[in-house]
Amino acid sequence: MQSSESALTNHEVTVCLAGGAVLGPFNATWSRDSGGDVRELVKEYDAFLQGEPQKRFKFHLHDTYTNTVHTLILNFSQVTGVCDHVRLKHNPEG
């Protein structure tokens, strides 16, 4: 199965907070040509859950559909989960 970078561009990110609050969902994109911290947010939070100290607090989620940037400043000790819903492009040729 062939994987392309364009298959990673359509993300919907939701952040769950202690106490039950929810941030998002935020539409965001990521590719080698388009910046944004979608992948970094997930990587950093995963590392935090595995016992590493939090290194970053500010993440920029670029939404190319509406030409906006969402800036999230997060303290991971108050985050209970991050959902990164990725919409893959359908390839009818297999």
DSSP 62-81: EETTTTEEEEEE--GGGEEE
Give the residue-averaged pLDDT of 73-86.
96
Q: Which domain holds residue 21?
A: 8-87
Residue 2 confidence (pLDDT):
43
Domain-embedded: residue 62? yes
Radius of gyration for the alpha carbons in the chain, expressed in angstroms and rounded: 14
Q: Can you give the pTM of this predicted structure?
A: 0.80
Give the residue-averaged pLDDT of 3-11.
58
94 band by pLDDT with thresholds 50, 70 and 90: low
Domain-embedded: residue 68? yes
Give the residue-averaged pLDDT of 44-54.
98
Domain-embedded: residue 93? no
State how many domains the chain has: 1
Domain-embedded: residue 30? yes
9 token code pair: 């561009």
Domain-embedded: residue 94? no
Asked whether residue 59 carries a pLDDT value surpassing 50, the answer given is yes
